């Protein structure tokens, strides 16, 4: 899912930062950029709020369950994992909200 408002340069920088793999499961397939804190909740488009997810993790992040990955995280756990990844990466200055 490509956000029309996210600049290509930002998207590419996030992919590079995360090693061109899903930050949660390490898959290099079907990569997408995800807002850890949704824009609707005040999340911004900065690197502090963007994470690379594969299409499967991204689907779970948006509430789609994958029957073939029944033992994987649920939406709440995945959201928490995204926040922890970014908070650890940018500690102690992590701030994902719009400025």
Cα of first residue to Cα of last residue in the chain, in angstroms, is 24
3 within some domain = no
Domain that holds residue 84: 8-90
The residue length of the chain stands at 99
* pLDDT number for residue 1: 44
Average pLDDT of the residues in 45-59: 94
Per-residue pLDDT tens for 81-92? Answer: 999 999 999 988
State what percent of residues in the chain have pLDDT above 70: 95
Read off the pTM: 0.87
The domain tally of the chain equals: 1
Burial label for 63, CB within 10 Å (0-12, 13-18, 19+), is exposed
Average pLDDT, the chain: 90
Distances (CA, A) of 12 to 30, 68, 76: 14, 30, 27
* pLDDT number for residue 97: 84
14 within some domain = yes
Using alpha carbons only, give the angle 4, 63, 34 rounded to the nearest 5 degrees. 35
């Amino acid at each position: 899912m490509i956000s029309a408002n996210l600049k290509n340069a930002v998207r590419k920088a996030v992919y590079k930062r995360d090693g061109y793999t899903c930050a949660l499961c390490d898959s290099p397939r079907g990569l997408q950029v995800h807002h850890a804190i949704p824009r609707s909740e005040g999340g911004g488009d900065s690197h502090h709020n963007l994470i690379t997810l594969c299409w499967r993790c991204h689907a779970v992040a948006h509430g789609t369950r994958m029957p073939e990955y029944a033992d994987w995280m649920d939406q709440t756990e995945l959201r928490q994992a995204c926040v922890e990844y970014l908070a650890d990466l940018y500690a102690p200055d992590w701030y994902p909200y719009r400025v």
